[in-house]
Amino acid sequence: MSHKAIKYNSIDLFSGVGGLTAGMHNAGFKTKIAIELEEDAAKGYKMNFPDTEVIPKDIREIDVKEIKDHLRDGPLYLLAGCPPCQGFSRVRKLNRKANVRDKRNSLVEEYFRMVKELKPLTIMMENVPGLKDYYLFKEIVKKLEDLGYNPKVDIVNVKDYGVPQNRKRLIMVGSLLGNLEIAPGTGEKRTVRSEIEHLSTPEESDDPLQQIVANHTERIMERIRLTPKDGGSRKDLPDEYLLDCHSKKNIGFNDVYGRLRWDDYSTTITGGCLNPSKGRFLHPEQDRVITPREAALLQSFPEDYKFPTDISKGSLALLIGNALPPRFSYVQSKNIKEHLDQHLG
């Protein structure tokens, strides 16, 4: 049986709700194991990938033997993961020169530990751009070179890969089989309109994720109604509607309480994507914040992707905003699959 006829085994570390896995599966990988400590994320992951063994543990407490026991059949073709490194995100670093001290930053070392002990044929890691200059990450890249992976690291924008969102990410790939480059952009432009315009309104929809909309005070609703359609922002409002915290110069983000633009990319979908005070998350036309389904579509999740609805709106927003866009994952994973086909076929 040729390698091309089988699904390549993969592992998703720090899997979240499964954005990375969704792209890998579409590209022809079979994710045998996912590691995810956070309960809501693991639950959402399992709803979409019931055949994957989810290990709900802190990766720092996982013995590699436990993973090898689950793998059993054949080599590990791809080890992929997005270690949480919140101390390097642009939002966390606002008004600070130094990286925020966050114990999660050391999780990149756990990614390397897994690579070293499992010896996958190829590797992929995605993260926030700020990680590139972190000394620990630089050390790990050097160690991966010593192991023979010839890692490639770059900062790209997912909007260049058919994702309707302006979101810069760090990507690293490597291979023991030969030179593996990071997949270039596809040139496909998708917009807010192409992803969400066709949806029913929350009142008319039978999709539970499209029915969830934030409730606001009448004062906030008035501000939303006054915000010009298709890209208006708080700067367009009369002075009496400015919040006190926004009246000082250079304080706060300009995009808060802003509307998305139909024929442009969305702003970065973050863990605050269901709250208009956290960014430009108002619907282009309707007087409301975007719904979880709309946020998920702007992250390039399929329209039938499942998310738990029995959790808080804040937790749901984090699941969606923290995910790797599946379409971006697909382009990178397909590139790795073709590399494996070429060297193993």
Do 299 and 325 form a contact (C-beta atoms < 8 A)? yes
Phi-psi group of 172: left, alpha or beta (phi > 0 → left; psi -120 to 50 → alpha; rest → beta): beta
Q: Which amino acid is at 305?
A: Y
**Burial letters 55-83, b for 16+ CB under 10 A, else e:** beeebeebeeeebeeeeeeeebbbbbbbb
Do 88 and 130 form a contact (C-beta atoms < 8 A)? yes
85 is catalytic: yes
Tokens for 265? 């990319």
Can you give the C-alpha Rg of the chain in angstroms? 21
Helix, strand and coil in the chain, % to nearest 5? 40, 15, 45
Do 31 and 12 form a contact (C-beta atoms < 8 A)? yes
Which one of 82, 85, 245, 273 is the catalytic residue?
85
Q: CA 302, CA 296: separation in Å to the nearest integer?
A: 8
Chain position carrying tokens 């039978």: 206
10 Å Cβ neighbour count for 113?
A: 15
Catalytically active residues, by annotation: 85
